[in-house]
Amino acid sequence: MLSAKSLFQEILDNDESFRLFCSIAASGESQGGWENARIAALVPQTERELAPKIARHGADEDKHGRIFNALLKKRGLRPVPVPPDTDYTMLLERHGIGLAHEKLTADKPLTVQDIVTYLAHSRVTEQRASEQMDLLRRHFADHPDIGRAVRVISQDEDNHLAYCHEELLRFARAGHGRAIQRTLRECALAEIRIYRDVSLAVMAHMGRILRWPRSRSLVLTAGIHAVYAWERLAGWRRMVSLRMPERRNALGGPATTAAEFA
């Protein structure tokens, strides 16, 4: 029976598919680490108290990249170049989600509106990350090779999502509510389309590596399109709601290390 668990188990069991999966994940996390570090350095003076949390977010993303690379090293594998059609982070930027790299590479401080935009975009993408890692945690939390990594990353993603909710609510109380809701909606509708395209690309690459029969590829493709149809109709709304999280000040402390995975 085809299920999320059996599908990922098949990818996990094959060196080449596992190599591609970890390479894609490590690249995206490392890019997110760089972006957050730059945003933390450019936070406007009026929001400097937020800088350590943004820096913590970036440190976590860097850690996740190191974890995925350590999983490869543990199996004697080296990273492979990430196919452009599977580069979720790059495609998000190309479609205007996240702050432009031209802005992040400059030395000019960001505006408060830039920070609001960053948090709104992060709230959408962290929703996706939290859900994906929760799925892996449900099925592979006790796996001898990847279980600890899955648990650590999943907890971090939950913290990132909680932080985005809390900070956006703070900005909403400060008068940015309409801008936040507009940005959240625009970002969510763009993200679900990009996620669909990336999912199709990843499955195509995995299918070639694992030599899936055409029937399996067609089933998976249909499933991805069905998820997109649901998200386009109503599912995107889960990405734009805001509520005070149970985890308050989730990024208020120092980042944990990834030394145990190296």
Contact call for residues 166 and 249 (beta carbons, < 8 A): yes
Which CATH number belongs to the domain containing residue 11 in this structure? 1.20.1260.10
**Whole-number CA gyration radius for the chain:** 18
> Residues 183-209, buried b or exposed e (16+ Cβ, 10 A)?
bbbbbbebbbbbbbbbbbbbbbbbbeb
| Number of domains making up the chain | 1
DSSP codes, the chain: ---HHHHHHHHHHSHHHHHHHHHHHHHHHHHHHHHHHHHHHT--GGGGGGHHHHHHHHHHHHHHHHHHHHHHHHTT----PPPGGG-HHHHHHHTT-S--HHHHHS-SPPPHHHHHHHHHHHHHHHHHHHHHHHHHHHHHTT-TTTHHHHHHHHHHHHHHHHHHHHHHHHHIIIIIHHHHHHHHHHHHHHHHHHHHHHHHHHHHHHHHHHT--HHHHHHHHHHHHHHHHHHHHTGGGGGT-----SSTTTT-SPPPP-GGG-
pLDDT, tens digit only, all 262 positions of the chain:
578 899 999 999 999 999 999 999 999 999 999 999 999 999 999 999 999 999 999 999 999 999 999 999 999 999 999 999 999 999 999 998 889 889 999 989 999 999 999 999 999 999 999 999 999 999 999 999 999 999 999 999 999 999 999 999 999 999 999 999 999 999 999 999 999 999 999 999 999 999 999 999 999 999 999 999 999 999 999 999 999 999 999 998 666 665 555 4
| Chain centre distance of CA 91 | 13
Domain ranges, residue 136: 4-261
